[in-house]
Structure 1
């Protein structure tokens, strides 16, 4: 069974993205949801994930709206596959007109 954490960094301001709504779906069903903490993290979004395909969503539109900043991406969705790893960390580097992600540790 696999655990999942995430971390959102505001690449323009150079700070953690605090209060970003994050949720996890599998087969179109929402499994869990959380808000990023003061360090931009959700330390344990999910535990005990079975192998398969998942989608991790970030409500970037609300985050930028709260700052009075326009964004091109109102939502970011990261699709990934669980294949029996002990733990997965999926960070998001965010700006109003770009984002990137990678498999963290």
Structure 2
């Protein structure tokens, strides 16, 4: 990959509800060349034990916009199932009321890129909110 003609992207996820990396979240990468262009799916990865995706595909030459799609619902469902299994003796008020385990089932982050730049986009996540920023 030539850094003079393409941009590069990396990401990681921190589950702020537990203060730890979010492992096993599927992340898909798409790009387009211009606002009116169609999105091109480039592939995906899943976060590792450190909450990082170390093998996201390279961006194509001419990419101007990038989208990261995070499938967070399965992550929170698995976490909720483990918590329920560990806490079967909780008081009735603390048991699952049938409410969803996550408010945002997926998070899509779209951002502009320029050739030669690296974009690290961390996702700070909890079951009922998220925040994102351009990292370093």
TM-score by length of 1: 0.91
- Aligned positions, number: 105
Q: Could you tell me which residue of structure 1 aligns to residue 66 of structure 2?
A: 54
Q: CA RMSD in A?
A: 1.5
- State the structure with more CA Rg: 2
More helix by share: 2
With over 3 angstroms needed to count, the CA separation of the structure-2 counterparts of 1:41 and 1:104, relative to structure 1, is: same
Which consecutive unaligned segments of at least 5 residues does structure 1 have? none
TM-superposed deviation, 1:48: 4.2
2:6 is the counterpart of 1:6:
no
Whether contact under 8 Å (1:23, 1:33) holds in the other structure is: yes
The runs of 4+ residues in structure 1 deviating greater than 4 Å are: none
Alignment partners' CA distance in 2, 1:56 and 1:16: 17
| Structure 2 gaps, min length 5 | 1-5, 32-37, 82-100
Q: Does the Cα contact within 8 Å between 2:45 and 2:55 map onto a contact in 1?
A: no
TM-score (norm 2): 0.71
Deviation at 1:46, TM superposition (A): 2.8
